[in-house]
Amino acid sequence: MAASGALERLRAGHQRAVLALLASEGPMSRADLVRGSGLSRTTVSSLVSDLIRSGLVTETTDRGLPHKGGSGRPPLLVTLSAPVGGMAGVDVGHGHVRVALADRTGRIQGEEHAFVDVDAHGAQVLDRAAAMVRALVSGAGLGPDHLQAVGMCVPAPLDRRSSRIRTGIMPGWRGLPPGEELERRLGVPVHVDNDANLGALAELHHGSARGRHDVIYLKMASGLGAGIVLGGRLHRGATGIAGEIGHVQVGEDGQVCRCGNRGCLETVVAVPRLLRLLQPAYDQELDVEDVLALERDGDAGARRVLTDAGRTVGRAVADLANSLNPELVVVGGSLGASTSLVAGLRGAIDRYAQPDTAAAVEVAPADLGDRAELVGSVALAIATLAA
């Protein structure tokens, strides 16, 4: 019985991977699905047959482009069924809530954005997010039954066993299972993951990591986290907290971290720390956009601090790369646009990773910027269609 259940979960995961590919790429041939998913031809053929029977996908010869195959028959493609019902994505950051309404192909139909004090007010933020989702559905002229599923992003580790946010990072959410609470407010299934994982999912399907299978996505902002993609699928770990690279200890006597430990990498390279380092050299109060503007203008201090931050993170990423052998490291979050930081990270990987590992990995900035978590939330909702 246990083996049968494990096989069913594995097959459901494979179905979600196929549906996510179709949602991000549009109509695809079975051969394209084999290449994109990394699954065998036999497995893909069986999955597609099941999905056709369930009504989730159909076959078509229309790729949305003119057929260029001469007089021969156009190829038979697999596509998501005509959208019936919609999805919503909810991105909860430390200081904002972003909500998007999308159809089942991932096409965004509306968005709303609010600046709120998230960390201290869990229940109120969930009320606000639910109201924003309902407003988007109503504003699109749709009925309350239109919504089928919601994907939700939270900016903290999420324990898969309890469905609660771990550590004291968000004190106002203590004891609140965010997915269950939002589901109670909206009356539809809500699926939750952390910001780094959903940033990785978004870049995998819509950004810098499209077509890649083994990827580390770094989110560098007010904190530091990693989303890990292995074999084209998110790796969450036994309890859902894989990729917490920000809490690698880099100094036993260092600053106390918000996780309760001392000397975590995050305390050295996160945005608040970098702003404190730079602030004494400038008259105006700095924020992250100011620092990036200074870097673009060639400011030596900003470039030095960002390069050093990249090197420090790169030392930890090199160790991770030695274990995982990724083909790509994507740098996202509010610091992902820093060329100095990316260059410092690249240099540290070259110095500290095994030579063959370093040669195999590319380092690139994220494509989606601060939209990654919202796009990833929508992708998470879509990926649950076959669950």
Q: The domain 2-80: what is its CATH number?
A: 1.10.10.10
- CB atoms inside a 10 Å sphere around CB 9: 11
Rounded Cα distance, 105 and 86, in Å: 9
Low-confidence ranges of the chain (pLDDT < 50): 64-71
pLDDT value of position 85: 66
pLDDT value of position 190: 94
- What fold characterizes domain 208-366? Nucleotidyltransferase; domain 5 (3.30.420)
CATH top class, domain 86-195+372-383: alpha beta
pLDDT value of position 385: 61
What pTM value is reported for the model? 0.80
pLDDT value of position 82: 58
pLDDT value of position 200: 95
Domain definitions of the chain by residue range: 2-80, 86-195+372-383, 208-366
Do the domains 86-195+372-383 and 2-80 match in fold?
no
